[in-house]
Amino acid sequence: MDQKKFYITTPIYYPSDKLHIGHTYCTVATDAMARYKRLQGYNVKFLTGTDEHGQKIELKAKEAGVTPQQFVDNIVEGPKGVKDLWKLMNISYDRFIRTTDDYHVAAIQKIFKKMYEKGDIYKGTYKGKYCTPCESFWTESQLVNGCCPDCGRPVVDAEEEAYFFRLSKYADRVRDLLVNTDFLLPRSRVNEMVHNFIDPGLEDLCVSRTSFKWGIPVDFDPKHVVYVWIDALFNYTTALGFMNDKYPDSDYETFWPADVHFIGKEIVRFHSIIWPAMLMSMDMPLPKHVYGHGWLLLDGGKMSKSKGNVVDPYLLAERYSADALRYFLLRDFPFGSDGNFSNELLINRINMDLANDLGNLLSRTTAMADKYFGGCLPIEQDEGPEDAALLEKVSGLRARYEADMEAYAFQNALADVFEVIDNANKYIDATAPWVLAKSEDTKPRLAR
């Protein structure tokens, strides 16, 4: 019989700076899901990686006085970089893609050309706000008080030649996908996509630029570089060998379509509208689900590298251990919603759940087994009136846990586990083994 397969991905992160606890959150959740599926006997492929092109990285590298490649190499592979962080956090990814990898670059050029030959990519004119001193185009929403977000100087309206993807052509099919299937999860995110983006009319998407160089050149028109989303989104397929020779074709055949892409809520739009439209254009199967999780907030606002209010996962994992941090991230924040990060919450979780409840249960149980029986329990055991309820809780745990994990409700799955731990602690309190230990007659009950 064919082994069941499961393909899960994180977003590919921008290595424009060190990653923070928000990125760690998504990767930890993906890792938990991948491990859960492996335990269930699935053949799992877990992909993560980095999204390394674009103007921002070009500018950052310039500021740092290095080439863009040196800049991203340092953030991805360098000390305390992305790969080190995932190692520290025990992330069990099977594959790591960098969009600067040769095989990805070559595949993106082929994909771009195929969409162009089909007529789904065409040449047009991009209109935007241009900062002349920085030689940079910005969108209206990127401007700060109407000025360049980098240097603060006024911008002017400007145009450049660019390629566009015929997103509008796929609007009806994408709308149908969102409204009539469970492609996008949680379902609460569907309305926003349909009402804010699809119903007002989808505009074709600019997919190439000439105003910066750090990107994948369009091979049939090399003054253009591929702009962001074709390069970034197709990572999920090039990492399986699609249109390249780096990995065996069988990987793509086995694992595509993805079972789920985990992503943050601000990129739901790209994954639930643009991504399926591009796959439709390529006549490729669509991922089964896209799950848009919430943000970790700090003082009610989004943590972001550009705001400088980020929490360093390295510090926390080194101080409290990766497992404690992983537990906290999955236990305290409902996956689909935003949640406020604070050190107090983290420390309380560690103290209450891990040290008190779990730690106590473990240490009392092993200490008593050791003290009263030399670590080896006798076969003769007496049941008591307290047993049935605990046994029932324990035997139903797997089913409850699985139902929650299948619903991406990590928080509830862990609550189920800790409910059993809590019940077990109460069981010990109620049966008072230290009293049973006082008489030979009650030893079989003690052993139980």
Residues lying near ligand MSP in the complex (CB under 6 A): 11-14, 22-23, 25-26, 51, 232-233, 235, 263-264, 266-267, 295-296, 302-303
Cα separation, 423 vs 395, in Å, equals 13
The residue (of 41 and 285) whose beta carbon lies closer to ligand MSP is 285
**Tokens at residue 228, please?**
């962001």
Pick between residue 22 and residue 313 the one whose CB is nearest to ligand MSP: 22
Contacts for 252 with CB less than 8 Å, ≥ 6 apart: 237, 240, 241, 242
Of 11 and 241, nearer to ligand MSP (C-beta) is: 11
Q: Name the DSSP letter for residue 154.
A: B
CB of 205 to ligand MSP, least distance (A): 14
CA 81 to chain centre: 17
Q: Which is nearer to ligand MSP, 51 or 259 (CB)?
A: 51
- Cα distance between residue 394 and residue 381, in whole Å: 19
The residue among 311 and 397 lying less far from ligand MSP, judged by its C-beta, is: 311
Report residue 152 CA to chain centroid gap.
Answer: 33
Q: Shortest approach of ligand MSP to residue 130 CB, angstroms?
A: 23
The sign of the dihedral angle between the CA atoms of 292, 180, 234, 169 is: negative
Q: β-strand 296-298 against 339-340: which pairing, if any?
A: parallel
Task: Give the CA distances from residue 220 to residues 28, 35, 279, in Å, rounded to whole numbers and listed in that order.
Answer: 40, 43, 22
Q: What is the identity of the amino acid at 347?
A: I
The smaller minimum CB distance to ligand MSP, of residues 227 and 295, is found at 295
**Residue nearest to ligand MSP according to CB distances in the complex:** 264
Residue number, 24 or 431, with CB nearest to ligand MSP: 24
**In what order do the strands lie in the sheet containing 184-185?**
95-98, 43-50, 5-13, 260-264, 289-293, 184-185
Q: How far is the CB of 139 from ligand MSP (least distance, A)?
A: 15
| Residue with token string 């609460």 | 188
Q: How many CB atoms lie within 10 A of CB 380?
A: 9
DSSP label at residue 123: E
Q: What's the closest the beta carbon of residue 238 comes to ligand MSP, in angstroms?
A: 11
* Nearest distance, CB of residue 191 and ligand MSP, angstroms: 19
**Nearest CB to ligand MSP, comparing residues 12 and 76:** 12
- The label of the residue with tokens 């190692």 reads 87
CB 138 within 8 A of CB 149: yes
Quote the CA–CA distance of 326 and 339 in Å, as a whole number. Answer: 15
Structure tokens given for 227: 């702009």
Token pair recorded at residue 417: 């586990």
